[in-house]
């Protein structure tokens, strides 16, 4: 298993509160990703990082921000959680972009977030 | 972006080979074909990937047609634990990340 730890694994929060999900890796990989998975939509990319302090938006970035101050940690923040952000969130890592070579992306075990 | 087409579901008997097809007729020359699977409530698991040649690892084999417009993932001796949703993904040029479709729900029957 890739050395990826997501925390918390489960969280219930109230609408309007800020929430931060943490992804920690022990592989020293350059690239980190946050996905969300919802019924009927599959996995969708929220944000990704290609290095410390280097991040970019994915397909569904509205309402989310990210930060990467260290290689090993990638934080996903919901500034003001809404019920539509109830989802399973997956962190992923890779050591190179697939545009250069056929490298592999490895996923964490997920964080279940419920916004009530 | 190259898109993939997979059957929504398939059944396979335990102990038999499971052959999962994927169509990617618009694939570009430098795009890789990846296969992942997701067992219920777990994170997606990498299985295998390839560019042109057939590939094999401890989990599966990947057969890519000569024109690269389709591929088949083969699980040689399926077990009940192989029941999962299998995703065939073509990684677009310049993309950071993977774009997941709906995949194939493979059900291994005892």
Q: Measured between CB atoms, which of B34, B43, B96 is closest to A97?
A: B96
Q: Give the pLDDT of residue A112.
A: 97
Q: Is the pLDDT of residue B94 over 60?
A: no
Q: Which residue did the predictor score with more confidence, A97 or A84?
A: A84
Is pLDDT above 70 for A1?
no
Residues of A within 8 A of B46 (CB-CB) are: 104-107
Distance CA A64, CA A79 (A): 7
Task: Give B-chain residues touching A57 at CB under 8 angstroms.
Answer: none
pLDDT at res. A22: 98
Q: In the predicted model, what is the mean pLDDT of residues A12-31?
A: 95
Mean pLDDT in chain A? 91
Closest-CA distance of chain B to residue A70, Å: 19
The closest CB to that of A42, out of B41, B49, B100, belongs to B100
Q: Kindly tell me the sign of the dihedral angle through the C-alpha atoms of B33, B95, B104, A1.
A: positive
Residues A22-64: pLDDT tens digits? 999 999 998 999 999 998 778 999 999 989 999 999 999 999 9
What is the per-residue pLDDT across B34-88, written as a single tens digit (0 to 9) for each? 999 999 889 999 999 998 889 999 999 999 999 999 999 999 999 999 999 999 9
The full DSSP string for B29-70 is TTPPEEEEEE-TTS--EEEEEESSS-EE-SS-EEEE-TTSSE
Nearest CA-CA distance, residue B60 and chain A, Å: 15
CB nearest to B96's CB, from A31, A104, A106: A31
Residue A94 has what pLDDT?
A: 87
């Amino acid at each position: 298993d890739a050395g990826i730890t997501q925390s918390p694994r489960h969280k219930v929060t109230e609408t309007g509160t800020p929430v931060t999900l943490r992804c920690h890796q022990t592989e020293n990989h350059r690239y980190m990703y946050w996905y969300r998975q919802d019924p009927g939509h599959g996995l969708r990319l929220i944000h990704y990082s290609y290095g410390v302090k280097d991040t970019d938006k994915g397909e569904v970035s509205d309402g989310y921000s990210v930060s990467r101050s260290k290689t090993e940690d990638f934080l996903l923040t919901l500034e003001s959680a809404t019920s539509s952000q109830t989802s399973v969130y997956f962190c992923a890592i890779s050591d190179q972009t697939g545009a250069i070579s056929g490298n592999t992306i490895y996923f964490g075990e997920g964080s279940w977030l419920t916004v009530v | 972006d190259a898109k993939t087409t997979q059957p929504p579901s398939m059944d396979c008997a335990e102990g038999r080979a499971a052959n999962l097809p994927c169509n990617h007729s618009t694939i570009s020359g430098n795009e890789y074909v990846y296969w992942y699977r997701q067992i219920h409530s777990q994170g997606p698991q990498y299985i295998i990937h390839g560019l042109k040649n057939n590939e094999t690892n401890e989990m599966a084999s990947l057969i890519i047609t000569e024109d690269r417009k389709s591929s088949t993932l083969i699980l040689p001796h399926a077990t009940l634990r192989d029941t999962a949703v299998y995703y065939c993904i073509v990684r677009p040029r310049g993309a950071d990340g993977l774009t997941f479709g709906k995949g194939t729900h493979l059900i291994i029957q005892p």
